[in-house]
């Protein structure tokens, strides 16, 4: 195991000790024990910047399930390093912020930090895994840990609802992703992302290419809250603000973006990839920004703004995939979109993280997030107001902040794609920059609402639960750092160009790099009087106009039918499934074992028979079958007669004895077949069973003397014939079909040499099938403990009586 593997697993390891630290040091906020880890990990990952910026990649492999091609391969390149720095860097600031946000006496901090560490480790595993199966394992862990974080205040009904909603939607996407991964494995025979990329021709020529593409897109869209799967993100805002700042600005919601960027070299050449991501991203951008304007909760505004910003990045990845349709690097105008996607990924983490923390401060110091109750806080909270101005204006795409630079590049990418000489983009492609521009106007409006409705206007102390004041210094450190990065990256984007953006571009579009070539990224404020500049001026002009007249046109929102919403569709779907499952349960769960067996046997019998004949698996081959002797025939007749007697016996004693005859006859079969160990085992078990039956039934009353006429039931006969036929045909087919050499030769050759035992049966049970035997013993022990507990409980009740 390498240091990189330990780094990925370190959050999981620390999570084990957090409850102990919480109990042992109750006077110290648990966050102080957690804080050093992400800080150390961030410093550790900065050491890769120099090598990665020079084109070096780092791979560390660890065997997991090598027989299936599943390994824990940790891989660091530009894309993985960028996300690792975001995860650990933002994670450090979030944990520092949470120390002052969460009370050490009122909150279950041990649970909070365990969940947060699980999420951090899961995200690191996602972005640093080269093996798709290990990536998927961590992917699902992010869904689980985010479920726990969103439902942290589990006594609140909204928290429960939001957590369940996010879990159901993201896990559905996770299952789709798993199916896509399986199809990629079928096409390439490997789970390694690097090897799949190297076999891209095999993938694109396969008939499974489009199904795999669609399934992977579903996984990415659900995780990154793309329309129409975005509905889980606003409800996830019931989580504590540090969770929102971490999960919904820099990490979890960008896991889908990471996945698409990582697999772009495989799928980007497809028109389906181009259109699906570009159109879905732009729809999400517009709908998220349009919906954010009507929100009255600060977190609600940021929730829909996050959806909008994610749609923007997603559309850039889709449009940027056009660059991979060409085989040249120089003058490839479509690379601007990919560059903008990477740059805005960083920018969004900085300004959105700071804004979430601003919301937490406002809520913490005033007791509300309702913009109808807020206003005039600028004089009470000047530092927080400054942070909000920087973050809000960057989100709106205003200079001189970093959001302006990436927004300009966003417009450039959308304009450039209209020049594409395929997919008829030179005609209807004009819709892409138009939708992008309209969405940006609403982005400007909700950014202004966030800043000015909260900090300017009329102060309303009678509507506030607390008298507002500036947050403590400790709570301000993290948002101040993020706001400072917004300004620094705005004035000096060159700090990111060669260190992070160019290596990330090399990871997303490696096919464009010939030997000795590298990406050259140049980000600057002034490009002259371009169309993009006029688009930005239009956004500002119309944005200011819309903001000033918001009360007049805000009335259009109630005109949308409230019943025809995606949230209502989700709610009706959940209720429908609950009602349907209740009906099925009431129909099937009758309380009678006979009915359960009837259903189970019918289903299994039909399934096995259909499979047997549809796959042409039925076969009869009696050439290697031994002849039936006189003794075998006699024993078979005795066994059948004893079985019939057991069923028709009118006395319990007769039934027990005839059932024992069946068991003892079976042991004689083992003797004839030269299996004395099995015969002895069967004799012992049968003797004990018969003795216990006699002991138990001795205390029961006799059979009832009155005659009960049992009606003939055709369904029972049909099911009995179905099961008997199925088992018989399966037995004949299994005996007649030899797909591979019997494993018995392996046991004969290795029982003594490798296990040191002369009794082959014992060796198989204890050594070759040791785990199977261990689990059987475990089950018996659990059953014995349960019986012991029931006996003790009965004895205790008798003593009390």
- HEC string of 644-686? HHHHHCCCHHHHHHHHHHHHHHHHHHHHHCCCHHHHHHHHHHH
Pair of tokens at residue 509 = 């579009």
Rounded distance between C-alpha atoms, residue 225 and residue 247, angstroms? 12
Q: Is it the case that residue 517 has pLDDT exceeding 80?
A: no
Q: What are phi and psi of 756, to 5 degrees?
A: 70, 25
Selection from 401, 399, 397, 380 nearest residue 448 by Cα: 397
Q: Is it the case that residue 428 has pLDDT exceeding 90?
A: no
Q: Is the peptide bond before 228 cis (omega within 30 degrees of 0)?
A: yes
Least confident residue range of 307-321, 429-443, 776-790: 776-790
Task: Give the confidence band of 427 by pLDDT, cuts at 50, 70, 90.
Answer: confident
Q: How many CB atoms lie within 10 A of CB 285?
A: 30
Rounded distance between C-alpha atoms, residue 256 and residue 281, angstroms? 12
Rounded distance between C-alpha atoms, residue 242 and residue 103, angstroms? 13
| CB-based contacts of 40, cutoff 8 Å, min separation 6 | none
Pair of tokens at residue 623 = 């050439």
Given this model, what pLDDT does residue 619 score? 82
pLDDT digits (tens, 9 = 90+) for 477-506: 999 999 999 999 999 999 999 899 999 999
Q: Is the peptide bond before 400 cis (omega within 30 degrees of 0)?
A: yes
Query: What average pLDDT does the segment 620-636 reach?
Result: 82
Task: Give the confidence band of 702 by pLDDT, cuts at 50, 70, 90.
Answer: low
Burial string for 110-121 (b: 16+ CB within 10 Å, else e) reads: bbbbbbbbbbbb
Rounded distance between C-alpha atoms, residue 496 and residue 237, angstroms? 31
- HEC string of 91-112? HHHHHHHHHHHCCCCCCCHHHH
Q: What are phi and psi of 297, to 5 degrees?
A: -105, 135
CB 291 within 8 A of CB 268: no
Is residue 64 helix, strand or coil? strand
Q: How many CB atoms lie within 10 A of CB 765?
A: 15
Task: Give the confidence band of 677 by pLDDT, cuts at 50, 70, 90.
Answer: confident
Given this model, what pLDDT does residue 631 score? 85
Task: Give the confidence band of 709 by pLDDT, cuts at 50, 70, 90.
Answer: low
Give Dmax (Cα) for the chain. Answer: 106
Selection from 539, 536, 509 nearest residue 521 by Cα: 509
- The pLDDT > 70 percentage for the chain reads 97
Rounded distance between C-alpha atoms, residue 153 and residue 107, angstroms? 9
Selection from 259, 277, 256, 285 nearest residue 321 by Cα: 277
Q: Is it the case that residue 706 has pLDDT exceeding 60?
A: no
**pTM greater than the 0.75 cutoff:** yes
Is residue 60 helix, strand or coil? strand
Selection from 542, 504, 539, 544 nearest residue 521 by Cα: 504
Q: Is it the case that residue 65 has pLDDT exceeding 90?
A: no
- The pLDDT > 90 percentage for the chain reads 60
Burial string for 655-672 (b: 16+ CB within 10 Å, else e) reads: bbbbbbbbbbbbbbbbbe
List helix spans (H) across 47-192: 49-53, 78-101, 109-128, 132-150, 157-188
Rounded distance between C-alpha atoms, residue 389 and residue 398, angstroms? 11
Pair of tokens at residue 279 = 């159109």
CB 245 within 8 A of CB 97: yes
Task: Give the confidence band of 108 by pLDDT, cuts at 50, 70, 90.
Answer: confident
Please state the separation of Cα 153 from the chain's center in Å: 21
Q: Is it the case that residue 207 has pLDDT exceeding 90?
A: yes
The DSSP symbol for 66 reads: G
Task: Give the confidence band of 789 by pLDDT, cuts at 50, 70, 90.
Answer: confident
Helix 36-46 and helix 3-24, axial crossing angle in degrees, nearest 10: 160
Pair of tokens at residue 444 = 């400007």
Q: Is it the case that residue 705 has pLDDT exceeding 60?
A: no
Please state the separation of Cα 406 from the chain's center in Å: 29
Residue-range domain boundaries for the chain: 270-586, 593-739, 751-796
Pair of tokens at residue 225 = 């809250």
CB 94 within 8 A of CB 66: no
Task: Give the confidence band of 385 by pLDDT, cuts at 50, 70, 90.
Answer: very high
CA angle 321, 326, 328 (to 5 degrees): 115
Compute the mean pLDDT over every residue in the chain, rounded to the nearest whole number: 89
Q: Is 136 left (phi over 0), alpha (psi -120 to 50) or beta?
A: alpha
Cα–Cα distances in angstroms (integers) from residue 481 to residues 92, 478, 690, in the given order: 11, 5, 78
CB 62 within 8 A of CB 5: yes
pLDDT top residue among 562 and 567: 567
Rounded distance between C-alpha atoms, residue 700 and residue 692, angstroms? 13
Selection from 62, 207, 34 nearest residue 130 by Cα: 62
Rounded distance between C-alpha atoms, residue 752 and residue 747, angstroms? 9
**3-state DSSP helix/strand/coil % of the chain, to nearest 5:** 75, 0, 25
Q: Is it the case that residue 208 has pLDDT exceeding 90?
A: yes
- HEC string of 216-256? HHHHHHHHCCCCCHHHHHHHHHHCCHHHHHHHCCCCHHHHH
Query: What average pLDDT does the segment 284-301 reach?
Result: 94
Q: What are phi and psi of 449, to 5 degrees?
A: -60, -45
CB 125 within 8 A of CB 138: yes
Q: Is it the case that residue 797 has pLDDT exceeding 70?
A: no
Q: Is the peptide bond before 91 cis (omega within 30 degrees of 0)?
A: no
Rounded distance between C-alpha atoms, residue 122 and residue 323, angstroms? 31
Place of tokens 């019943």: 563
Q: How many residues does the chain have?
A: 801
Q: Which helix (H) or strand (E) covers residue 609, if one does?
A: helix 593-614
Given this model, what pLDDT does residue 800 score? 65
Given this model, what pLDDT does residue 701 score? 66
CB 112 within 8 A of CB 102: yes
pLDDT digits (tens, 9 = 90+) for 737-769: 777 777 888 888 888 888 788 777 778 878 887
Given this model, what pLDDT does residue 502 score? 92
Given this model, what pLDDT does residue 628 score? 80
Given this model, what pLDDT does residue 275 score? 93
Is residue 628 helix, strand or coil? coil
Task: Give the confidence band of 716 by pLDDT, cuts at 50, 70, 90.
Answer: confident
Q: Is it the case that residue 184 has pLDDT exceeding 70?
A: yes
Q: What are phi and psi of 198, to 5 degrees?
A: -70, -20
């Amino acid at each position: 195991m390498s240091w990189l593997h330990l780094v990925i697993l370190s959050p999981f390891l620390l999570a084990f000790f957090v409850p102990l630290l919480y109990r042992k040091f109750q006077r110290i906020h648990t966050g102080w024990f957690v804080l050093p880890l992400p800080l150390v990990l961030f410093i550790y990952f900065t050491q890769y910047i120099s090598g990665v910026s020079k084109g070096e990649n780092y791979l560390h492999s660890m065997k997991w399930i090598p027989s299936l091609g599943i390994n824990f391969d940790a891989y660091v390149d530009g894309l993985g390093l960028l996300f690792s720095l975001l995860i650990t860097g933002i994670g450090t600031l979030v944990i520092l912020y949470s120390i002052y946000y969460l009370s050490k006496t009122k909150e279950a901090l041990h649970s909070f930090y365990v969940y947060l560490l699980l999420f951090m480790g899961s995200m690191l595993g996602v972005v640093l895994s080269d093996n798709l199966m290990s990536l998927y394992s961590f992917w699902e862990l992010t869904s689980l840990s985010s479920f726990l974080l969103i439902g942290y205040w589990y006594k609140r009904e909204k928290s429960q609802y939001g957590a369940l909603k996010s879990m159901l939607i993201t896990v559905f996407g996770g299952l789709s992703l798993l199916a896509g991964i399986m199809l990629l494995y079928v096409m390439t025979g490997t789970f390694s992302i690097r090897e799949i990329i190297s076999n891209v021709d095999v993938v694109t020529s396969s008939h499974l290419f489009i199904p795999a593409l669609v399934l992977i897109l579903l996984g990415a869209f659900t995780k990154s809250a793309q329309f129409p799967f975005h509905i889980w993100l606003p409800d996830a805002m019931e989580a504590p603000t540090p969770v929102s700042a971490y999960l919904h600005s820099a990490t979890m919601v960008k896991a889908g973006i990471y996945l698409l960027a990582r697999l772009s070299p495989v799928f980007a050449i497809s028109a389906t990839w181009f259109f699906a991501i570009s159109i879905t991203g732009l729809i999400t951008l517009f709908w998220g920004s349009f919906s954010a304007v009507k929100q009255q909760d600060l977190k609600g505004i940021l929730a829909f703004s996050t959806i909008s910003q994610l749609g923007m990045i997603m559309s850039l990845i889709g449009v940027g995939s056009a660059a991979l349709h060409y085989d040249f690097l120089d003058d490839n105008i479509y690379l601007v979109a990919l560059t903008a996607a990477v740059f805005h990924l960083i920018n969004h983490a900085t300004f959105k993280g700071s804004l979430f923390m601003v919301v937490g401060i406002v809520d913490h110091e005033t007791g509300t997030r309702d913009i109808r109750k807020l206003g005039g806080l600028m004089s009470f909270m000047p530092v927080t107001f400054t942070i909000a101005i920087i973050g809000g204006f960057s989100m709106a795409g205003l200079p001189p902040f970093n959001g302006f630079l990436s927004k300009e590049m966003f417009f450039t990418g959308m304009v450039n794609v209209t020049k594409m000489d395929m997919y008829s983009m030179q005609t209807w492609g004009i819709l892409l920059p138009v939708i992008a521009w309209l969405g940006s106007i609403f982005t400007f409006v909700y950014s202004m609402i966030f800043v000015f409705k909260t900090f300017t206007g009329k102060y309303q102390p009678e509507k506030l639960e607390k008298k507002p004041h500036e947050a403590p210094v400790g709570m301000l450190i993290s948002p101040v750092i993020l706001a400072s990065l917004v300004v620094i990256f705005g004035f000096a984007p060159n700090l990111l160009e060669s260190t992070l953006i160019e290596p990330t571009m090399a990871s997303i579009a490696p096919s464009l790099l010939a030997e000795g070539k590298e990406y050259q990224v140049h980000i600057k404020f002034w490009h002259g009087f371009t169309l993009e500049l006029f688009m930005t001026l239009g956004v500002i002009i119309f944005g200011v106009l819309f903001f000033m007249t918001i009360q007049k046109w805000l009335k259009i929102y109630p005109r949308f039918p409230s019943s025809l919403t995606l949230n209502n569709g989700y709610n009706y779907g959940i209720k429908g499934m609950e009602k349907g499952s209740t009906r099925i349960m009431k129909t099937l769960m009758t309380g009678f074992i006979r009915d359960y067996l009837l259903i189970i046997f019918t289903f299994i019998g039909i399934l096995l028979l259909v499979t047997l004949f549809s796959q042409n698996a039925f076969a009869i081959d009696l050439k290697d079958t031994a002849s039936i002797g006189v003794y075998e025939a006699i024993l078979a007749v005795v066994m059948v007669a004893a079985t019939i007697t057991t069923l028709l016996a009118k006395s319990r004693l007769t039934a027990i004895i005839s059932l024992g005859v069946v068991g003892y006859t079976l042991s004689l079969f083992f003797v004839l077949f030269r299996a004395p160990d099995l015969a002895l085992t069967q004799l012992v078990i049968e003797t004990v069973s018969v003795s216990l039956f006699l002991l138990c039934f001795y205390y029961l009353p006799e059979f009832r003397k009155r005659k009960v006429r049992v009606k003939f039931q055709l369904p029972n006969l049909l099911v009995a014939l179905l099961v008997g036929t199925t088992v018989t045909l399966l037995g004949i087919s299994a005996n007649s079909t030899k797909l591979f050499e019997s494993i018995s030769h392996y046991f004969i050759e290795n029982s003594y040499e490798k296990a040191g035992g002369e009794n082959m049966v014992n060796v198989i049970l204890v050594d070759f099938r040791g785990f199977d035997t261990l689990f059987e013993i475990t089950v018996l022990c659990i059953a014995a403990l349960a019986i012991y507990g029931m006996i003790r409980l009965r004895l205790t009740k008798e003593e009390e009586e």
